[in-house]
Chain A
Amino acid sequence: MLKLLKFLKPYWWQVLILVLSTAGQVYTTLQLPALMADVINHGIVPGDINHIWQIGWIMLAVTALSAGLSFVSSYFAAVVGANFSRDLRATIFSRVLSFNLSDMKEYSTASLITRTTNDINQVQSVMVMILSMMLRAPLFCIMGLVMAIQTAAEMSWIIVVGVVAVVLMAALIIALVMPKFKIFQKLLDKITLITRENLTGLRVIRAFNNEEIERKKFEESNSMMTRLLIYVDRIFELQNPFINIIFNGMTLLCSWIGISLLNEDFSYLGDMTAFSQYASFVMMAFLMLSIMFVMLPRANVSADRINEVLKTIPKIKWNGTTKGVPDKRASVEFKNVDFSYPGAEEKMLSNVSFKTEAGKTTAFIGSTGSGKSTLINLVPRFYEASAGSVLIDGLPIGNYSKEDLMKRIGLVPQKGILFSGTVTSNIKFGAPNATPEEVRAAAKIAQADGFISRLPKGYDAHIAQGGTNVSGGQKQRLSIARAICKKPDIFVFDDAFSALDMKTDAKLREALKPVTEDAVVLIVAQRVNTIKDADEIVVLDKGKVVGKGTHFELLNKCKIYQSIVKSQFSEDEFEKETKLAQKSAKEANHA
């Protein structure tokens, strides 16, 4: 939490005013009991009505001043608190946007989202509490103590007794209850988990007739939770009665001691009332502080999680100096590229080399974990090769400025990612200046025009956050349209076709041909059918290139490729394909 205080720096003078006005407000509030004692001692006791009025006016003035200061301090607490969280949020947001995939991998997206939303909210509400309560409590403690001693030093031990009692009680309850809160959280998580499983596994549970088992599982956690809650309740509810006893006991003690001191000095009559008020101010302050001790550790967890993000510096630096995109057909080359995830011993890619140029399609195939997705992610520099180099137009990609590199790439990821907005705004995402005609043309190629025109508002139809209001296949087609609309030099399709049914897949690839004529096409796929026509197929296994060539060439010479084809084709078809491959090899020999 302390580390985050640096975000208050730009607002130092507001904070200063806040501190000063809070101090002033506390001071003026504490003057009232003293003035009241004055009214009793020098007005009421001698019967001086004039004096009562005189002090009365002063009290009014002090109240007005106190209210003014209180307003000033609340105002600045609000301003500082709101600005603090705005800056923090903005800093984290832009930091996360500057992260690369390897940085993201350290956290998981869900965790980063929680850090930017919930954790910041948590820190913000505690910061507001610090700015108002935390500041006030110690001031009340110190000034209240001083005033109490000034009023009646002989009675000050009462405050010590009261404070010790309050602190002991708070410590005891916290010590007894806090450990249970951890168990509480775990049980609550479990209850939520079972509920979620019951919802997501609805069909399976019913298919197996296991509603009863699920119910029992739930009941077990539920009743454990109830028992725990009742146990905690038994202790936790002691709090209020105890506080009442302490406060009332202290008031009684003040009256008793005050009265027994009356024979020494009659002014204890007024002083004892003032004193008991000071004593309750001081004890209230201690109570607040003990609440802060409960709140702070929780906020600290959030603050630590935020600090972690702030400490993470993007591993990939964009120092490129290119200005603009050259007006020529692109080429992509991998030269002996190695890659391993930070901290991992095993190489995800080792010694990968290939070269391709505009007008050619290069496909990557291999089993899960073979590194094909990783490889393709090196092209937009989401990851940095640990050895070797990735060249575009013969220039290492590190030499490009970020904008220039990205301008050339049209990426379609595995999952169709959409943003809230309209169909058009999604397709135009990479080409803000695209005309409606261009948008429509892109959608047509992506086989999306049909379903878009069937939507109630067509191209202006609303897309919900995460594209939840369109189906998986539609999402994927829109995401392909987005890449096409950008008119990139390099298309990167990361397993983008597998969410489509085979018929749409085939139609789409046919329509793509004219668009990709002047572009490099890199494509990762699971289905052999999707990549059969590629100019070059790169077969990957455990991060190594185990085969390179056309479909037929690979069928003839690459064992792994053969087994992949075998698994996806029927036996007849496989034989037919193999024969065709052998035939084409012979023809090549003759020529």
Chain B
Amino acid sequence: MHDNRGPNVKAKNSKQAWKSYWVSIKKYRLWIFASIAFAVASAIVGIFIPKILGDMTNVAVASYPDIDFDGIGRDAIIVIILFLVSAVLNYLQAFILGVVSAKYTADLRTLIINKIGRLPIAYFDKHRYGDTLSRMTNDVDVLTTSMSQEIADVSLSLTTLIGVMVMMMTISVPLSLISFIVIPLSVIVVGKIMGYAQKYFREQQNTLGVLNSKIEENYSGQIIVKSNSYEKAATLDFNETNQKLTRATMRAQIFSALSFPVTNVFTNLGYIAVCIVGGVFVVEGRITIGDMQAFLQYVSRFNRPITEVASSTSTLQSLLAASERIFEFLNEPEEAPDPENTMAIEKVKGAVKFHDVSFSYLKDTPIIRNFSVSVKPGMKVAIVGPTGAGKTTIINLLMRFYEPNSGYITVDGVPIRDMRRSDVRKMFGMVLQDTWLFSGTIEENLRYGNTRASLADIRKAAEASNVDHIVEALPKNYKTTISEDSDNISAGEKQLITIARAMVANPPMMILDEATSNVDTRTEQMIQDSLEKLTHNRTSFVIAHRLSTIRNSDLILVMKDGQIVESGNHKELLKLGGFYAELYNSQFAEN
């Protein structure tokens, strides 16, 4: 897992990261090259401007005191044409790159969202959501921003650098050589400084991560901090990290700030060298005064490209790291596609059979071993066991979120592995403890399982599941918007809405996970009542916490430490005197 990533994390395999990136921009390569070509052209056109401006001075000085304004005017017009052309080319390159990067962003996002839809559930049980989310947001952002900026900047800088050097050489070779001496010096010194700065930036980023998590846990655990009088210790601990962060920030800041005066010194040295040596050359008649003016402009232009190219290497690193993380995700193995010839059940009766099913999440720890059971249509199956016993495994297998390692499951005699996944899932309705609703209106949410449901269907389901009166109490009724963290409806009410949602879908079988806590008594009764209606005459699998549910079940599967240890009905299991009996006696029976 990737935690606390700073911006300067290096890619593990840069070559692979490059390759994936290169492949992914295939569609846009032509445009990107066109954009680079425009950038180069724009830079080349621009390079001639100082030279011609210098020529203007030359013409003026040569014809002084009868200044040849016609000649100067011609030069001026050429300059105007040059900078207009250069600007148009510049705009074209930036615009093309902008469009490409916008489209590329959209492509990447679509790829990621589709990938989310096709990855097996197992992937998300192993990886944190935040991780995937950050690939979708941060990494895509890094990849596309650096694409639109870096490509243009680097090609523009390099062209300018080379072009400027060529122009300078044509004016005067010795003068050029004098001003070039400062380049390697400046690159080496700035590179060294940036190296230090990078180191401290990384340190700053890491410390910031540590500090942020300290803030987070102290804030969210405030009542514990307070009731244990831990504030002083917390503040001391915080201050220590804060001081560390300040030190790193200061160092990073100083070093990166240092690069500014240093490059400045080198530019100015070049500038002064040209002033002095160039001045002497003009006096000696080796170059003209206009050439010297042009030269001064060139010298001041060549410092920026160097620092830009130098800084682009670090951007490149973060680009590669982002690219690696995105394509790593996109290359995760997907759910096996549905078989070609699938079977389907016309009218589901609801006979579910486990045939010798074995399953394990991890290779060495089997969860279910050679389990066989037959559930008749309309039966109620309760899955019980202590916290963390793996009760959701059965649901995962039924819904084909996971596939058994061996053995198979049939519905009405048809093996579900020979059916389309979507057809399997259509047979079951699910009401889970985690009351997931998407942000949208209540009506949209209720319709989620059956988009063709009429308003009347929805009302009927809402009435049956006691959602009706809650909705009526809301200002906009069925058009009220709800979201994950909305507080206009309570947890219990959300639970009721998910039940209503399942009713609207009206599936032949049901899967339920009884909620245990945080629901008040009245709502609790309504939930039970609605669940009763929902499971009536339907084959249903319930992760049960309530005694009443368990007792009324036709079949109880008892799980312990991730395995089904017993199965049977309440009476049989009590008679058995095993784990179920122990579980039951410790909690429900009278002392």
C-beta contact mask, B543-554 vs A, less than 8 Å → 1, else 0? 001111001000
**B133 interface neighbour in A113, A196, A226, Cβ under 8 Å:** A196
B292 partner residues in chain A, CB cutoff 8 A: 40, 44
Q: Does B216 contact A (CB under 8 A)?
A: yes
Query: Hey, what's the 0/1 contact readout for A43-70 against B, CB within 8 Å counting as 1?
Result: 1110111001101100110011011001
Known contacts A64-B265, A81-B249, A207-B399; 17 additional CB pairs below 8 A are A59-B275, A85-B249, A96-B222, A97-B225, A109-B220, A113-B219, A191-B109, A196-B129, A229-B105, A252-B76, A255-B56, A260-B67, A269-B61, A471-B388, A499-B387, A526-B518, A568-B524
Count of A-B contacts with CB under 8 A?
413
Whose C-beta in chain A lies nearest to the C-beta of B527?
A567
Out of A90, A197, A367, A466, which one reaches B522, CB within 8 Å?
A367
Contact across chains for B272 and A59 when beta carbons are under 8 A apart? yes
Q: Would you call B372 an interface residue if the criterion is a C-beta within 8 Å of the partner chain's C-beta atoms? A: no
Interface-located stretch among A152-160, A215-223, A549-557 = A215-223
**8 Å CB contacts to A: which residues of B408-433?**
421-422, 425-426, 428-430, 432
Q: Give Cα distance in the complex from A202 to B518, angstroms.
A: 24
Are B217 and A420 within 8 A (Cβ)? Answer: yes
| In the complex, per-residue mask of B354-388: 1 if CB is within 8 Å of any chain A CB, else 0 | 00000000000000000000000000000000111
A406 to chain B, nearest CB (A): 5
Complex-state Cα separation, A503 to B558, whole angstroms: 14
B229, A402: Cβ atoms closer than 8 Å: yes
Please tell me if B583 contacts chain A, counting CB pairs below 8 Å.
yes
8 Å CB contacts to B: which residues of A464-487? 465-466, 471-473, 479, 482, 486
Taking chain A's interface residues, is the majority helix, strand, or loop, or is none over half, making it mixed? helix
Chain B hits for A589, CB < 8 A: none
Task: Give 18 pairs: A residue, B residue, CB < 8 Å, sorted on A.
Answer: A52-B280, A66-B261, A117-B211, A192-B137, A199-B124, A199-B133, A200-B434, A204-B432, A206-B401, A211-B117, A226-B103, A237-B94, A249-B83, A256-B56, A418-B221, A429-B228, A502-B545, A502-B588
Chain A neighbourhood of B525, CB < 8 A: 567
Q: Is the CB of A47 within 8 A of B283?
A: yes
- Cβ-based interface call for B311 (8 A): no
Contact, CB under 8 Å: B246 / A429: no
A36 to B211, CA, bound (A): 51
> Nearest 5 CB-CB pairs, A to B?
A367-B520, A233-B98, A74-B257, A78-B253, A498-B517
CB distance from B376 to the nearest CB of A (A): 23
What is the CB-to-nearest-CB distance from B550 to chain A, in angstroms, rounded to a whole number?
10
A197, B220: Cβ atoms closer than 8 Å: no
Given known A-B contacts A44-B283, A52-B283, A259 and B430 have beta carbons under 8 A apart = no
Q: Are A39 and B91 in contact (CB under 8 A)?
A: no
Contacts of B455 in A (CB 8 A): none
Complex-state Cα separation, A205 to B121, whole angstroms: 11
Residues of chain A contacted by B121 (CB below 8 angstroms): 202-203, 206
Contact call A132/B224, Cβ cutoff below 8 A: no
B196 at the interface (CB under 8 A from A): no
Give Cα distance in the complex from A71 to B430, angstroms. 66
- B418 CB to closest chain A CB (Å) equals 18
Chain B residues lying within 8 Å of A209, measured Cβ to Cβ, are 422, 425-426
Stretch at the interface among A239-247, A293-301, A389-397: A239-247
Q: Which residues of B contact A495 (CB under 8 A)?
A: 517-518
Among the 9-residue stretches B14-22, B230-238, B313-321, B473-481, the one with 4 or more Cβ atoms under 8 Å from chain A is B230-238
Q: Collect the chain B residues with CB atoms within 8 Å of residue A576's CB.
A: 590
What mask results when residues 229 to 259 of chain B are scored 1 for a CB within 8 Å of chain A, else 0? 1110111001100110111011001100110
Stretch at the interface among A175-183, A337-345, A354-362, A409-417: A409-417
B341 CB-CB contact with A under 8 Å: no
Interface string of A135-179 (1 = CB under 8 A from B): 000000000000000000000000000000000000000000000
Kindly specify which of A98-106, A283-291, A438-446 makes contact with the partner chain: A98-106
Report the nearest A residue to B550, measured CB to CB: A570
Which chain B residues (52-69) contact chain A, with CB distance < 8 Å?
A: 53, 56-57, 60-61, 64-65, 67, 69
Instruction: Find out whether the CB atom of A503 lies under 8 angstroms from the CB atom of B521.
Output: no
Whether the pair A192, B401 counts as a contact (CB closer than 8 A) is: no
- Using C-beta atoms within 8 Å of the partner chain, give the interface range for chain A: 35 or more
B456 within 8 A of A: no
CA distance A225 to B108 in the complex (A): 13
The answer to whether B84 and A43 touch across the interface, beta carbons within 8 angstroms, is no
Query: Which of A194, A236, A255 meets B98, CB within 8 Å?
Result: A236
Q: Which of B28-76 contact A (CB under 8 A)?
A: 46, 49, 53, 56-57, 60-61, 64-65, 67, 69, 72, 76
A573 pairs with B547, CB closer than 8 A? yes
Is residue A262 within 8 Å, beta carbon to beta carbon, of the partner chain? yes
Q: Are A429 and B230 in contact (CB under 8 A)?
A: yes
Say whether B563 faces chain A, with CB atoms less than 8 Å apart: no
Q: For B228, what are the chain A residues with a Cβ–Cβ distance below 8 Å?
A: 406, 429-430, 486
Q: Report the bound CA distance from A573 to B551 in whole Å.
A: 12
Set of chain A residues within 8 Å of B523, measured between Cβ atoms = 367-368
Whether B425 lies near A200 (C-beta < 8 A) is no
A484, chain B: closest CB distance, angstroms? 13
Contacts of A96 in B (CB 8 A): 219, 222
